[in-house]
Structure 1
């Protein structure tokens, strides 16, 4: 199992979480479909649950809470990019044309976080680790394996993520309209044009979880009330599907081609 024991390089996706209207239903669903262990967390952290795979943190599921006077946020998976200075990153986001949605806050002694949107409108989180580095198992069945930016303006977001995180977004070798999200010369995610999504889809970061068998995973997901946006199909990186949980949170599952 690929375990992560040291902090992620700044700019690297390091964590994903979901704010669900029915937290317990979400915990039960992902337990059944991806094999996670998780339970409602302590009250001082708003009940936030750190889900585990074989006792290693893999993702978070919390209860959706609306800011005072605001509607409840949509049920979506959020990708967090690592930083070593959340305050400096927040300033850089604003200076580069992004929008800070949740300002920097301390999360106990685990770390510091914020939520923002890039200039195209794709929402992402930022995580500065203290006691908690993020996902401690990745690239394994049931764990995070890829994060993909869907945007209507590749040029604008390329300049933004470079200025804020030092990320380079460039065409992936052998692909016509698919881009690699590179940190330190290594692909840590992907990017694609929003025109490939159904009309009306907003800019977003899509979370991919690895599975051993996408077809049986999709069958299990449907039986538990999930929905299928794109049925399992073969593509250069493996066999994948795009789906949603019963509360509407979209994500992808993939059986990657062995490296």
Structure 2
């Protein structure tokens, strides 16, 4: 298991789901990923083999469908918030208890998080755990400029027919950016979170058995086999079976 105790600046380190039906969301992810969801007094910490992987928070005002929020690590929240405003982002909430909720210039929502005693997800890149995140934007150049200012990412363009960039921190890939083309018409800018699975066919079949849908069926990519799935109470997310 890929245990984690720290994250470099700019790396996705945590994921939170806001939903109007937390009980249904917990049931869905428990069945799909084998999570152990533990009440924290108003919200739920989800564990995988004893390690924290995500949070599910009930909110009667949550969007429909529910949305996952990615938390991006920063060693200095105050400085990051200053760069946020300079780069054209907007503060939505906070700072509060080491985090701030923000949007980029295209409207994609994310959180800045300065780890303290709690560092974020205790496991990554394993079945049932977060493995990747990317911002989907109709203006790739604007997104690249904003996040480079915010975190100093190094950008690597992925060859092929899709405009996709990998963002690196200290030379290591940490997240990505997809430019949404005409096939995404009507879809607002957003961050997409990926969770790994051991068997893609079994996982997508289980999604439908649990009342979810697979709007983007499994396909092969340079980063593994990917599918986009959704559940009425648990939102959209991507599943990934790593290559090899």
TM-score with structure 2 setting the length: 0.94
d(CA) in 2 for partners of 1:10, 1:192 = 20
5+ long unaligned stretches in structure 1? 67-71, 107-111
Q: Partner residue of 1:180?
A: 166
How do 1:78-93 residues align onto structure 2 when only pairs under 5 Å count? 78-93=69-84
- Structure 1: which 4+ aligned runs deviate by more than 6 Å? none
CA deviation vs aligned residue, 1:177-204 (integer Å, no higher than 9, x gap): 2210111111111211111653211111
Give the alignment partner of residue 234 of structure 1, picking from 213, 220, 231: 220
The secondary structure found in structure 2 opposite 1:10 is: coil
1:65/1:126 CA distance change after superposition, 3 Å: farther
Q: CA deviation at 1:25?
A: 1.1
d(CA) in 1 for partners of 2:239, 2:182 = 18
Q: Partner residue of 1:156?
A: 142
Structure scoring higher RCO (CA < 8 A, sep ≥ 6) equals 2
Q: Partner residue of 1:140?
A: 126
1:209/1:247 CA distance change after superposition, 3 Å: same
1:53 aligns with 2:52: no
The secondary structure found in structure 2 opposite 1:159 is: helix
d(CA) in 1 for partners of 2:241, 2:157 = 23
1:37 aligns with 2:30: no
Q: Is the 8 A contact 1:105 1:114 kept in 2?
A: yes
Give the alignment partner of residue 90 of structure 2, picking from 96, 99, 114: 99
Q: How many residues align?
A: 242
Q: Partner residue of 1:11?
A: 10
Q: CA deviation at 1:56?
A: 0.4
Q: Is the 8 A contact 1:90 1:103 kept in 2?
A: no
Give the alignment partner of residue 192 of structure 2, picking from 199, 206, 213: 206
Q: Partner residue of 2:181?
A: 195
The secondary structure found in structure 1 opposite 2:30 is: helix
Q: Is the 8 A contact 2:25 2:234 kept in 1?
A: no
CA deviation vs aligned residue, 1:99-152 (integer Å, no higher than 9, x gap): 11112101xxxxx11111111111111111111000110000111111011111
5+ long unaligned stretches in structure 2? none
Q: Is the 8 A contact 1:27 1:39 kept in 2?
A: no
The secondary structure found in structure 2 opposite 1:218 is: helix
Instruction: Quote the RMSD (CA, aligned, Å).
Output: 1.5
The secondary structure found in structure 1 opposite 2:142 is: helix
The secondary structure found in structure 1 opposite 2:40 is: coil
Answer with 112-121 or 228-237: which moved more: 228-237
Q: Is the 8 A contact 1:16 1:80 kept in 2?
A: yes
